[in-house]
A and B are shown apart, each in its own frame.
Chain A
Amino acid sequence: MANGNTVIHKLHPYVKSVVLVFYLIIVLSVSPYQFDRLAPFILFPAVAISFAEIPFRFIFHRILPVFPFVIFAGLSNLWFDRRIAFFMDSLPITYGAVSFITLILKTFLTVSAVLILLTTTPMKSLTDFLRRIKIPELIITQIMLSYRYITLLVDEVSVMETAYLLRSCGKQRIELKHIGSFIGQILLRSYDRAARVAFAMKCRGYGNISNISSSNPLKPVDILIGLGMIGLIFGLRVWDISGVLSRLFL
C-alpha cells in the first residue's frame, strides 16, 4: 500500500513527516477540557484517507488495539474529576467525562495520522528522513529491525499456537497454566533468531553504515503543499472554527 500512486503517496516523504509532527504537536496541545476544539482536526485524516484511497476499515482495524489501553488509562479521569462541567438537558457532564472523551479523540486523531503516513510512505523514505534530521543510526536500525522482526515474531507465535492447539484435544485457546512456558519458549526462540540475524548483519559489514542521500529530491510544489497544510492546521488551532459554526447554526 506504501507504493501507491495517489497525490498523498506522491507527496515528498519529508513534507509528510514534517506535517505529521506539526499535526501531532498541535492536536496534543489542545486542552483536555476542550474536546469541541478537536472536531475540525478530523478533517486532516478524513481528507488524507480519501485522497490516498485507503479503506477506512484498514485504518480502523489498526487503531482498535490501542483503545483498550487508552480507555483503561482514561477511566481514572471519570473517577477522580467529578466537578460538573455542564448539563446536557438535566444530565450532569463532569470534567472527568470531558477529558476522557478528549483523550479518546486525541488518540484516534494522532494514531490515524501516523498510520496514514506509514501506509502511504515506503519505510526506506521514512528512514531516509530520520537520517536527514540526524537521528542516530542505531535508533534507525532499531526501527527497521523492529518493523521486520514483528512479522517474524508473529509467524513464530502463530506456528507455536497452531502446534499447541493441534495437540490440545479441541481446545480453542492456550490454557492459563501453559501461558508461562509458551511465552518462555517464544522468548528463547526469539533470542535464538535475534542472534542469527545479528550474525547475518555482521557478515555483511554491519557497524559502519554510511548516511545516504535521498534519490527523490524535494520539489517546490512539495514545499508549498507542506506549508499550506501547516498553515491550515495552525489556523484550525488558533481560530475556534467549531465555536463559530455552532454560533452560526445553533
Chain B
Amino acid sequence: MITIENLSVEYEDGTFALRAINLKVCDGDSIAILGENGAGKTTLFYTMLGLLKISDGKILVNDIELSSPTLKQIRSQIGLVFQNPDDQLFMPTVEEDIAFGLRSYGKSEEEINKKIRDIAERLGIVRLLKKAPYKLSGGEKRLAALATVLAMEPQAILFDEPSSFLDPRSRRTVINLLKEIRDTKMIATHDIDLAWELCDRAIILSKGEVVAEGSIEEILKNENLLMKYGFELTTRSQTDRRF
C-alpha cells in the first residue's frame, strides 16, 4: 500500500510543483493520474521514487517512510516506466538493459538470465534481446522499457504517459499488456480512453493540486469537470450518452 500524506514539492524559485497531495493506493488498485501538461503528474512519480526532494509531508510504501536510508528498498518495490523509452533504455542492448536493474540488486547471473528469458517471452520481444535500443521502433522501445521494469517484479508500477509516441496498433498492444498486469498501477496520462479501459479510480491534478478524485466513471462522465481541466470527452462517454 502506498500512502501519500500532505505532500508538497517546492522548486528553488519558490513555485510549488505539488501542493498538499493526499492519496491512498491499495494493493491491486489501478489509478489514473489525469492533468494537463505541467500539472505535476511526472513530478509526483519522481517524488514517489525519491528522485525529487520532498518539501513537506511524507510518502509511505508498505508503512516504510521514503527517506535516504529506505530509498533502495522503496525503489525495489515501485517501478517507473518513463514517458520516453529513450530515457529508460541506456544500455547497449535490450538484454543488458533488462539485466541492469537485476544486477544492481545483486541477483545471480543464472537468475538474471532466467528472468530475461521469461519476461521477453511474456512480452513477445525475444527477437529484440540482442538488438541495440536505438534500432527499435517506437512500439518495440516501449515494450523493451516495460520489460526492464517488469523484470524487477515491483509491487507497484508507475506509468508515465504509456501511450505517447505510439501508433494505434502499438497502443493497443501496450494497453492489452497493461491489462494483464495485476500489480498496483498508477498511470499518468492524457489518454482518456486508455484511462477508462485500464483504471478503476482517477484523480485530476491541476497546477500541482488534486482538484478531483473519484471512480473512473464519476470523473470521466463529468463533462464540466473534464472541460474545465482541458480534456476532451472520451469516445466512450460520448457513446454512453448517445445510447
Q: Using CB atoms and an 8 Å cutoff, list the residues of chain A in contact with chain B.
A: 3, 122-124, 144-145, 147-149, 151-152, 155, 193, 196-197, 199-210, 212-213, 215
| Least distance between B211 CB and chain A CB atoms (Å) | 27
Scoring B residues 76 to 119 as 1 if CB is less than 8 Å from chain A, else 0, what string do you get?
10011010101111111101100011011110010001000000
- Would you mind naming 11 contact pairs between A and B with Cβ atoms under 8 Å apart? A123-B92, A144-B91, A147-B92, A151-B132, A199-B46, A199-B82, A202-B75, A203-B51, A203-B80, A204-B75, A205-B105
**Which of A145, A205, A208, A209 is the one whose CB lies under 8 Å from B90?**
A145
Look across to chain A and name the residue whose beta carbon is closest to the beta carbon of B152. Answer: A204
- Asked if B148 is an interface residue, CB under 8 A from chain A, the answer is yes
A123, A144, A155, A200 pick with most chain B CB within 10 angstroms: A200
B interface, over-half SS: helix
Query: 4 smallest A-B Cβ distances: which pairs?
Result: A204-B101, A205-B104, A123-B92, A196-B87
- Asked if B122 is an interface residue, CB under 8 A from chain A, the answer is no
CA of A3 to CA of B130 in the docked complex: distance in angstroms?
Answer: 8
Question: Could you say which residues of chain B place their CB within 8 Å of the CB of A205?
Answer: 72, 75-76, 101, 104-105
Contact present for B88 and A200 (CB under 8 Å) = yes
CA of A48 to CA of B75 in the docked complex: distance in angstroms?
Answer: 46
CA of A142 to CA of B228 in the docked complex: distance in angstroms?
Answer: 47
Question: Could you say which residues of chain A place their CB within 8 Å of the CB of B152?
Answer: 204
- Asked if B165 is an interface residue, CB under 8 A from chain A, the answer is no
Look across to chain A and name the residue whose beta carbon is closest to the beta carbon of B103. Answer: A209
CA of A15 to CA of B42 in the docked complex: distance in angstroms?
Answer: 47
Question: Could you say which residues of chain A place their CB within 8 Å of the CB of B84?
Answer: 196
**Which of B89, B96, B101, B109 is the one whose CB lies under 8 Å from A213?**
B109
Contact present for B109 and A148 (CB under 8 Å) = no
| Least distance between B138 CB and chain A CB atoms (Å) | 13
Question: Could you say which residues of chain B place their CB within 8 Å of the CB of A152?
Answer: 86, 134
Question: Could you say which residues of chain A place their CB within 8 Å of the CB of B133?
Answer: 148
Contact present for A215 and B113 (CB under 8 Å) = yes
B72, B91, B95 pick with most chain A CB within 10 angstroms: B91
- Asked if B49 is an interface residue, CB under 8 A from chain A, the answer is yes
Question: Could you say which residues of chain A place their CB within 8 Å of the CB of B86?
Answer: 152, 193
| Least distance between A136 CB and chain B CB atoms (Å) | 16
Question: Could you say which residues of chain B place their CB within 8 Å of the CB of A201?
Answer: 90, 100
| Least distance between B61 CB and chain A CB atoms (Å) | 14
A124, A149, A201, A205 pick with most chain B CB within 10 angstroms: A205
Question: Could you say which residues of chain B place their CB within 8 Å of the CB of A210?
Answer: 103, 106
CA of A223 to CA of B14 in the docked complex: distance in angstroms?
Answer: 64
Contact present for A200 and B87 (CB under 8 Å) = yes
Contact present for B87 and A148 (CB under 8 Å) = no
CA of A133 to CA of B106 in the docked complex: distance in angstroms?
Answer: 20
Contact flag A124-B79 (CB < 8 Å), given A197-B87, A205-B104: no
| Least distance between B89 CB and chain A CB atoms (Å) | 8
